[in-house]
Amino acid sequence: MRIFSITTNSNIYASGSCNAYAGNTQVHCAASFSNKVPIFLQKEKKGWISAEYAMLPHATYTRSDRESSSKPRGRSMEIQRLIGRCLRSVCDLTVLEGFQIRLDCDVIQADGGTRVTAINGGFVALAITFAKMMQSGLITKTPLLNKLCALSCVIKDGQPIFDPSYQEDSSADADINLVFTHTGHLVEIQGTGEQGPIQIQSWSDFITESFEKTSEIRKSQNQALAQMGL
């Protein structure tokens, strides 16, 4: 596991923000709330949480075109749908009635694991945002039902490598991203074996071990929240 760390309040204008670091990977996470709820929710007594994910042009080894000047990338769309879904899975959206939280995850440097780092940092930015909303009296209790952490893993020659760098990722056989609550429940799993089948001996052991590997991440998240008095 690479060193994971979080710097809170990396943005003075957002309601909640942090920079999340995993090795050379760096993601700027910033969340804010507004009272514009998406149209498809207007008849339901619920609020909403959505996420956007993008990479700066120089975030990767070779510069890629700015997302704004071309059509939106399928990969970014897939990832931002994942982030939003996971965050909503640990929140009581009825507490957020009348509000929408928008989380932006902008990748400054990408050395593998950007989507899980975005979830790990994004959760902290979200929790801080909820705290600000409670302080302002906009909501009377926190919508958080659980804390959230995420881990990427690749399988190479039948063995899992947890939290791989880009180099380790690109030479692997299969690729698995897992998202857990801090209480150890799985809320999302995405396993893909483009180079061949996903070879895992015991799925239950693998999932248990994966959760254990997130302990330093959870500790970092808890410390970051504690610094904010949460």
With CB under 8 A as the rule, give the number of residues binding a second copy. Answer: 60
Q: How far apart are CA 150 and CA 177, in angstroms?
A: 7
Q: Residues 180, 150: contact at Cβ < 8 Å?
A: yes
Among 7, 142, 156, 193, binds a second copy (CB under 8 A): 193
Q: Which is nearer to a second copy, 70 or 226 (CB)?
A: 70
Q: Closer to a second copy at the Cβ: 72 or 223?
A: 72
**Among 39, 42, 43, 68, which residue interacts with a second copy (rule: CB under 8 A)?**
68
* Chosen residue from 42, 45, 135, 194 binding a second copy by CB under 8 A: 194
Q: Are 179 and 152 in contact (CB under 8 A)?
A: no
- Cα(115)–Cα(188) distance, rounded to whole angstroms? 12
Q: Angle at Cα 154 formed by Cα 185 and Cα 160, nearest 5°? A: 80
Helix, strand, coil proportions of the chain in percent (round to 5)? Answer: 35, 30, 35
Residue 42 or 226 with smaller CB distance to a second copy? 42
Site stretch for a second copy (CB under 8 A), options 70-78, 128-136, 152-160, 215-223 = 70-78
Q: How far, in Å, CA of 96 to CA of 91, rounded? A: 9
Q: Which of 81, 94, 171, 227 binds a second copy (CB under 8 A)?
A: 81
Distance of CA 107 to the CA centre of its chain: 12
Q: Which one of 11-19, 116-124, 152-160, 210-218 is the stretch in contact with a second copy (CB under 8 A)?
A: 11-19
The sign of the dihedral angle between the CA atoms of 170, 74, 54, 228 is: negative
d(CA 205, CA 197): 18
CB-wise, 54 or 228, nearer to a second copy? 54
Site string for a second copy, 35-64 (x = CB under 8 A): -----------------x-x-xxxxxxxx-
CA-to-CA distance for 115 and 121, rounded, in angstroms?
Answer: 10
Footprint of a second copy (CB under 8 A): 11-14, 17, 24, 28, 30, 32, 34, 52, 54, 56-63, 66-69, 71-72, 74-75, 77-78, 80-81, 85, 88-89, 102, 104, 106, 108-109, 181, 185-199, 202-204, 207
